[in-house]
């Protein structure tokens, strides 16, 4: 019984067992064959050349009468060592280069990334052949050539990963605190990209094995009297019609070892991603107890048909200086119906993203989340067993984040990432799940989806990565899609495409969408309802046209005044909201917006306004909402 969840994840799929078993056997052969079979592999009788399989020679003999099987086994060590050495060289140079580029100042970084992209566009094996012209033929030349040819792959992956880490708040804070670059690299960046790079090393070794063998096959790698599988293949192909096994056997070994290394990389990726540990266990537990299908939980008797989410008095707190707790979300109540698109806007720190993460139950300690009701598709999430809760949210709720590259696993192929939830929760086999992945990629507008399945995230553009993220979220046909700033990192054209895509998905599958953004223009183009948040609370809520046409809350008015429109006069400066939102640790008495509000009266500084109903599904938290003085005002 495997106790550690990483080990369980490694061996969860047959590929894990297959990889561990095959690599174990290959390692034993590499160590033992040169000791026991060296003579049989190098000495033969010309009288017995070109023999077929027999009791003496299980795979027959080559044109010099040497045992093909013995040569095949003895060649294992050199073939693997050369592939590993080339990968190690590529990894050291590539990761160093990638991190240096990622940490370089803006212009140099851009130039570095362009240069890496250009070298990536050359086929690796062609690059290696050119390099052998400079470093010379032979095993060392082959290792150097293949090692250098793979440098751009490692450089691109490590620079992408390192840049995503350097943009994180904790690295920025370290920089501000004056932590030197080498220390930031060792303490902050390397530990956060180490697991992904380890996985990449193993998947690249499979490619390096084929490349080194190819160089030997072309006469540029291992030279006689040494021999690896590529050299054996070159020698065997000459007499293919007489002794086909002399060529076929090393070709099969190269393919099998390459597959074993690839499977090992995939299994390692599962083991090194803690998010995948418990999901697999959940799936097995559900199967064992027979609990539920991969589809929706049935609606409950006291649950209004058509409702997706019902949340009351959500409160999210964090520890504050002095031992107290500060509320970043304070008393949010929200209902979402099937097929509804609800936009949530507000400045940074208004509590939008914390509300979304709390709905998806993705907040962990030190956050503390409380609510008087948190029901999703009729189930009370507070009362569900943790396995059932994770299963329900894992299949019926999807999240799309601002940074698609940070949300996609850089070391797993796009197809496998989209197929994963179907295999874990839907019980589909790999072929079935990949077929569905193709459908989902087609639905989100990825061209030639069959060809894209085997691509890695870094081979996609930003817009395609976001589409892939949405495709992944849609795998199990979720009832609710939470999109947190899904277009912020994209250019304007791609933004419009992603918004169109969400609108289509909502129309075709009645998927409810909670769209969180700071961009009112984005919400206006797609949402039916608008929620405005300020200082952790909802301050206005209503049908989008009504709120945009006649906002009741002064904060909504100022937000709208600060939003450019197509017909805005470019010579007239946009309105700006003066001041800053209050700190959650120091929320003022009365209305939290009072210090910035142009309409504040004495009562505002004393009495906290409640969210009041103002007819026709409209609500606002302002003492003056609906009063003539505010209605007539332009801001």
For ligand SF4, which residue of 96, 599, 612, 614 counts as binding (CB under 6 A)?
Answer: 599
For ligand SF4, which residue of 12, 440, 557, 623 counts as binding (CB under 6 A)?
Answer: 623
Q: What DSSP string runs through 368-400? A: EEE-SEEEETTEETTTS-HHHHHHHHHHHEEEE
**Token representation of residue 263:** 């499977």
β-strands 341-345, 512-516: how paired?
parallel
DSSP state of 595: G
Is residue 624 a contact residue for ligand SF4 (CB under 6 A)?
yes
β-strands 529-534, 512-516: how paired?
unpaired
**Smallest separation, CB 334 to ligand SF4 (Å):** 21
With respect to ligand SF4, which residue has the nearer C-beta, 585 or 600?
600
Is residue 609 a contact residue for ligand SF4 (CB under 6 A)?
yes
Q: Which stretch binds ligand SF4 (CB under 6 A): 395-403, 436-444, 445-453, 591-599?
A: 591-599
Q: What DSSP string runs through 433-468? A: HHHHHHHHHHHTT-SSHHHHTT--GGGS-HHHHHHH
Closest-CA residue to 620 (of 561, 532, 519): 532
With respect to ligand SF4, which residue has the nearer C-beta, 456 or 534?
534
3-class state of residue 122 by DSSP: coil
Burial, 134: exposed, middle or buried (Cβ in 10 Å; 0-12, 13-18, 19+)? exposed
Assess contact for 56 and 234: CB atoms under 8 A: no
For ligand SF4, which residue of 285, 296, 600, 635 counts as binding (CB under 6 A)?
Answer: 600
Q: Which stretch binds ligand SF4 (CB under 6 A): 200-208, 224-232, 565-573, 589-597?
A: 589-597
Q: What is the spatial distance between Cα 329 and Cα 374, in angstroms, rounded to a whole number? A: 15
**Smallest separation, CB 596 to ligand SF4 (Å):** 8
Is residue 622 a contact residue for ligand SF4 (CB under 6 A)?
yes
**Smallest separation, CB 369 to ligand SF4 (Å):** 27
With respect to ligand SF4, which residue has the nearer C-beta, 66 or 537?
537
For ligand SF4, which residue of 150, 264, 456, 593 counts as binding (CB under 6 A)?
Answer: 593
**Smallest separation, CB 627 to ligand SF4 (Å):** 9
Assess contact for 116 and 159: CB atoms under 8 A: yes
3-class state of residue 103 by DSSP: helix
**Token representation of residue 446:** 């990825």
For ligand SF4, which residue of 336, 424, 597, 611 counts as binding (CB under 6 A)?
Answer: 597
With respect to ligand SF4, which residue has the nearer C-beta, 561 or 600?
600
Is residue 284 a contact residue for ligand SF4 (CB under 6 A)?
no
Count, residues near ligand SF4 per rule CB under 6 A:
13
Q: What is the spatial distance between Cα 413 and Cα 459, in angstroms, rounded to a whole number? A: 10
Q: What is the spatial distance between Cα 417 and Cα 437, in angstroms, rounded to a whole number? A: 9
Closest-CA residue to 416 (of 282, 296, 273): 273
Q: What is the spatial distance between Cα 192 and Cα 361, in angstroms, rounded to a whole number? A: 24
**Smallest separation, CB 542 to ligand SF4 (Å):** 16
Is residue 538 a contact residue for ligand SF4 (CB under 6 A)?
no
Assess contact for 512 and 518: CB atoms under 8 A: no
Is residue 456 a contact residue for ligand SF4 (CB under 6 A)?
no
Q: In whole angstroms, how far apart are CA 176 and each of 99, 180, 308, 407? A: 20, 10, 44, 26
**Smallest separation, CB 604 to ligand SF4 (Å):** 3
Q: Which stretch binds ligand SF4 (CB under 6 A): 106-114, 137-145, 496-504, 621-629?
A: 621-629
Is residue 587 a contact residue for ligand SF4 (CB under 6 A)?
no
Is residue 263 a contact residue for ligand SF4 (CB under 6 A)?
no
With respect to ligand SF4, which residue has the nearer C-beta, 505 or 591?
591
β-strands 512-516, 480-484: how paired?
parallel
With respect to ligand SF4, which residue has the nearer C-beta, 153 or 541?
541
With respect to ligand SF4, which residue has the nearer C-beta, 469 or 622?
622
With respect to ligand SF4, which residue has the nearer C-beta, 115 or 600?
600
Per-residue binding string, ligand SF4, 497-536, x by CB under 6 A, is ----------------------------------------
The interface with ligand SF4 within residues 192-251 (CB under 6 A) comprises: none
Closest-CA residue to 170 (of 154, 156, 191, 155): 191
**Smallest separation, CB 611 to ligand SF4 (Å):** 11
Is residue 591 a contact residue for ligand SF4 (CB under 6 A)?
yes
Per-residue binding string, ligand SF4, 544-583, x by CB under 6 A, is ---------xx-----------------------------
Assess contact for 94 and 85: CB atoms under 8 A: no
Instruction: Compute the C-alpha angle 137/143/148, nearest 5°.
Output: 105
Q: What is the spatial distance between Cα 433 and Cα 411, in angstroms, rounded to a whole number? A: 19
With respect to ligand SF4, which residue has the nearer C-beta, 501 or 597?
597
For ligand SF4, which residue of 132, 594, 618, 619 counts as binding (CB under 6 A)?
Answer: 594
**Smallest separation, CB 346 to ligand SF4 (Å):** 14
Dihedral (Cα; 407, 359, 283, 473), 10-degree rounding: -40
Q: Which stretch binds ligand SF4 (CB under 6 A): 456-464, 469-477, 497-505, 597-605?
A: 597-605
With respect to ligand SF4, which residue has the nearer C-beta, 77 or 609?
609
Alpha carbons within 13 A on the beta-carbon side of 175:
12
With respect to ligand SF4, which residue has the nearer C-beta, 8 or 557?
557
Footprint of ligand SF4 (CB under 6 A) = 553-554, 591, 593-594, 597, 599-600, 604, 609, 622-624
């Amino acid at each position: 019984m495997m106790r550690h969840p990483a080990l369980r994840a490694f061996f969860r799929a047959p590929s894990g067992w297959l990889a561990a078993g095959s690599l174990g056997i290959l390692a034993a052969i590499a160590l033992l064959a040169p000791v026991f079979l060296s003579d049989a592999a190098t000495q033969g009788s010309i009288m017995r050349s070109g023999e077929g399989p027999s009791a003496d020679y299980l795979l027959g003999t080559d044109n010099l009468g040497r045992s093909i099987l013995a040569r095949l086994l003895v060649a294992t060590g050199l073939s693997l060592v050369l592939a590993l050495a080339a990968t190690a060289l590529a990894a050291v140079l590539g990761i160093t280069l990638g991190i240096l580029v990622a940490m370089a100042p803006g212009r140099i970084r851009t130039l570095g990334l362009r240069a890496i992209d250009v070298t990536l566009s050359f086929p690796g094996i062609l690059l290696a052949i050119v390099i052998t012209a400079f470093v010379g033929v032979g095993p060392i030349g082959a290792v150097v050539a293949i090692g250098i040819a793979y440098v751009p792959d490692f450089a691109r992956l490590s620079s992408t990963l390192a840049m995503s880490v350097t943009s994180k708040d904790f690295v920025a804070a370290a920089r501000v605190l004056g932590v030197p670059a080498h220390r930031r690299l060792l303490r902050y960046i390397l530990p956060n990209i180490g697991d992904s790079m380890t996985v990449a090393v193993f998947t690249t070794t499979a490619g390096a094995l084929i490349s080194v063998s190819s160089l030997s096959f072309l006469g540029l790698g291992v030279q006689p009297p040494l021999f690896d599988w590529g050299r054996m293949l070159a020698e065997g192909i000459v007499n293919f019609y007489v002794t086909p096994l002399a060529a076929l056997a090393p070709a099969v070994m190269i393919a099998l070892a390459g597959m074993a290394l690839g499977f090992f990389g995939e299994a390692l990726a599962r083991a090194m991603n803690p998010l995948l540990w418990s999901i697999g266990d959940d799936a097995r537990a559900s199967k064992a107890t027979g609990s539920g299908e991969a589809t929706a939980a049935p609606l409950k008797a006291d649950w209004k048909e058509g409702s997706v989410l019902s949340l009351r008095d959500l409160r999210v707190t964090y520890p504050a200086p002095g031992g107290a707790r500060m509320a970043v979300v304070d008393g949010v109540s929200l209902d979402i119906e099937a097929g509804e698109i609800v936009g949530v806007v507000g400045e940074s720190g208004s509590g939008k993203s914390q509300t979304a993460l709390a709905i998806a139950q993705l907040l962990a300690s030190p956050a503390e989340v409380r609510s008087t009701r948190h029901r999703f598709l009729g189930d009370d999430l507070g009362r569900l067993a943790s396995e059932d809760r994770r299963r329900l949210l894992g299949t019926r709720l999807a999240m799309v984040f601002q940074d698609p590259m940070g949300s996609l696993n850089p070391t797993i192929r796009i197809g496998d990432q989209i197929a994963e939830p179907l295999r874990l929760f839907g019980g589909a086999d790999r072929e079935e799940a990949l077929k569905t992945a193709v459908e989902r990629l087609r639905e989100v507008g990825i061209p030639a989806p069959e060809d894209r399945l085997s691509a890695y995230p870094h081979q996609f553009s930003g817009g395609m990565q976001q589409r892939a993220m949405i495709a992944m979220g849609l795998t199990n046909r979720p009832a609710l899609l939470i999109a947190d700033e899904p277009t912020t990192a994209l250019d304007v054209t791609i933004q419009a495409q992603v918004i169109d895509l969400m609108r289509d998905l909502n129309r075709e599958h009645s998927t409810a969408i909670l769209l969180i953004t700071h961009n009112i223009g984005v919400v206006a183009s797609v949402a039916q309802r608008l929620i405005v948040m300020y200082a952790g609370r909802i301050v206005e809520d209503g049908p989008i046209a009504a709120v945009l046409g006649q906002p009741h809350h002064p904060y909504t008015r100022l937000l709208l005044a600060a939003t450019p429109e197509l017909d805005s006069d470019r010579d007239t400066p946009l309105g700006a909201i003066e001041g800053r939102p209050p700190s959650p640790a120091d929320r003022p008495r009365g209305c939290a917006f009072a210090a910035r509000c142009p309409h504040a009266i004495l009562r505002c500084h004393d009495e906290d306004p409640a969210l009041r109903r103002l007819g026709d599904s409209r609500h606002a938290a302002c003492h003056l909402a609906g009063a003539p003085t505010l209605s007539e005002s332009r801001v």
